[in-house]
Amino acid sequence: MSRSGGEPEERWTGVDRYVTDLLLGADPALDAALEASAAAGLPDIQVSAPYGKMLHLLARAARARRILEIGTLGGYSAIWLARALPADGRLVTCELDPKHAEVARGNLERAGLGDRVEVHVGPALETLRGLASEGAEPFDMVFIDADKPGYPDYLELSLQLSRAGTVIVADNVIRRGDILDGSSGDPNVQAMRRFHERLASEKRISATAVQTVGGKGYDGFVLAVVTE
C-alpha cells in the first residue's frame, strides 16, 4: 500500500492523467486514433501519452529526418514520431498484422501525416533485411516496440540500418522486474535478458535502461546511441 493509502497502480495512473492534462493537453487526432483502434478491437497496448511525448521530444532533439519504428499497432506512437519530422522527413514503420496496419493508415491519414509515413506489412525481420539489402539510407532514430522474442534480432538489424549518432529506444524491457530471473520459463523474459546482454557486449552502442511506472504498469525502456 502507498503512503497515501491508495494502491500504487492507482497513483501511477493518476499521475499519468495529471501529467497528460497539465503538460500535453487535449489532442483530437491522438484521441481519435485511440478510439478507432479500440473500435477495431486492437489490444490496448500502445504507449501512454507521456511516453509518446517523450518519443516525440527525443526525435526532435536528435533532429531526426528518418525514423524506423518496429511495431505499428494502431499508429499512436507513429503519430507522435511523425510529428517530430521535418517537411521532407520519413517514418518507416513495420506491422505484422494487416488489420492493424489498415487501422494505423487511417489514423495517420486523419492526423494529416499519411504522406510522411510508410507502413510496411509483414514480418518485421523480412522488412528490415530488405531495407538493409537495398542499401537504405541510415535512420536517425529507431523505436522498437514489437514481439519481445524478436528484440535481439531487431537490434542487430537496426544497427545495420543506423549511423553514428542514431538513437535507439526499445520499450517493455523490464518485464515488471522479471528480467532478474535467469531461470524464468517466460520466453519474453529470456528474450529481454538476451537483448540486454547484447547491448552490454556491443562496442558500437552506449546504452542505459530506465524503469517506469504509470497507467501501463511497471516496466521500462532502453535508451541507446550508436557511437560508431
- Is 109 within the bounds of a domain? yes
The crossing angle, in degrees rounded to 10, of helices 151-160 and 187-201 is 30
Q: CB–CB of 61/35 below 8 Å?
A: no
- Is 2 within the bounds of a domain? no
What's the CA dihedral at 59, 61, 63, 69 to 10 degrees? -10
Q: β-strand 141-144 against 167-171: which pairing, if any?
A: parallel
* CATH number, residue 175: 3.40.50.150
Q: Which domain holds residue 135?
A: 8-226
Number of domains making up the chain = 1
- Is 101 within the bounds of a domain? yes
Q: Is 2 a residue whose pLDDT tops 50? A: no
Output the nine-digit C-alpha cell for 47. Answer: 504507449
- Is 1 within the bounds of a domain? no
How far apart CA 203 and CA 2 sit, in angstroms, is 41
- Is 3 within the bounds of a domain? no
- Is 203 within the bounds of a domain? yes
Q: In the predicted model, what is the mean pLDDT of residues 39-53?
A: 97
Q: CB–CB of 116/89 below 8 Å?
A: yes
pLDDT tens digits, one per residue of 132-147: 999 999 999 999 999 9
pLDDT tens digits, one per residue of 172-209: 999 999 999 999 999 999 999 999 999 999 999 999 99
Output the nine-digit C-alpha cell for 177. Answer: 522486474
How far apart CA 22 and CA 31 sit, in angstroms, is 16
